[in-house]
Amino acid sequence: MAKKPLRLPSCLTPQEVIALTTWTPTDPLALRNLCMIRLMVNAGLRSQEVLGVKLADLNLETGQLVVTRAKGGRQRVVWVNADDLALIRAWLAHRESLAQEGHDEIFVTRSGGPMRSRNLRKMVKSVALLVGIVRDVHPHTCCGTPSPRTCSGPPET
């Protein structure tokens, strides 16, 4: 029996990357959504990685992000660019009023608890539609897309 040909994963086009990462958020949760999408696209975080980012994992001065929930149970370090750090700082100001006691994830829901995979999938699909992307977009599409803004080292100061 012949093997099925391997399917390459789908990637976003450069225009889709720009649309997904440059829209203007209109409220605090939209700002959270933009931050999450930019971390997936620009820093290459997978869905479980972005959901698992804790406050202590990100150095807001240097942009160093220690991904503690990396694939295979490993840890890895990625760098967050200055523009994305500025957005995250703005989100953190709103997060303080939402987060429930004992939840140290950077990205929380409207009710203050941690976001779930289902929430992330729905959010990415709805943002894609909002910015005019009509094809099926999901978190894996974002993290597997090379971005022109991806950092290979610490952001320049």
Q: What is the pLDDT of residues 75-95, one digit of tens each?
A: 899 999 999 999 999 999 999
pLDDT at residue 157 tops 90: no
Mapped onto helix, strand or coil, the DSSP state of residue 27 is coil
Structure tokens at 63: 């942009």
- Class level of CATH domain 14-143: mainly alpha
Find tokens 């939840």 and name the residue: 103
CA 148 to chain centre: 16
140 contacts 40 by C-beta, under 8 angstroms: no
pLDDT at residue 156 tops 80: no
Give which of 146, 143, 145, 124 is closest to 135, Cα–Cα.
Answer: 124
Question: 24-79: per-residue pLDDT in tens?
Answer: 999 999 999 999 999 999 999 999 999 999 999 999 999 999 998 777 788 899 99
